[in-house]
Amino acid sequence: MAIRPIIRFPDPRLHRRAEAVVDIDDEVRALARDLTETMHAAPGIGITAPHVGVLRRLVVIQLEGQTEPHVSINPEIVWSSPERIRHVEGSVSMPGVNDEVERYARVRVRYRGLDDREHEEEAEGLMAVCFQHEIDQLDGIFWIDRLSKLKRDRLIKRFDKLQRLKA
């Protein structure tokens, strides 16, 4: 296992669509382990392969209280509730800033697991938000793209200032 470098906003790879994983082999399993370790070190509760520059459709989520990470390969939302919720989001690729994003309150997600089987599960609340956030990333939609232009511009300025202070 290894902690991989996380690509930072505004890297253009964060806006590229990830490719489907065809075979769940040792390379994919190693990537899932590396993503888990990288997410813990960041720290974060969700990460995708594109966050480390690998344009493959692989997501790892681990909420507080969960003993094992949730690994989703080629996840897709197959149903979403009519109800919406707002939740504060951020990204391991844009540390130090966050803002409120509106998402579906519940979703049903279909994905393959590391066991190479198809799974389908319904999620609500924070887990639903995480699925939507990370699947957006796989589709090349960075979380700030969900903000108004005004909020996005302010957030980018705040992030740029934080980066200058760290330099």
Q: Is 124 a catalytic residue?
A: no
Q: Which residues make Cβ contacts (< 8 Å) with residue 36, sequence separation at least 6?
A: 1, 60, 62, 69, 71
Three-class HEC string of 76-88: EEEEECCCEEEEE
**Mapping DSSP to helix (H, G, I), strand (E, B) and coil, where does residue 58 land?**
strand
Closest CA to 87 of 129, 142, 144: 129
Active site residues: 134
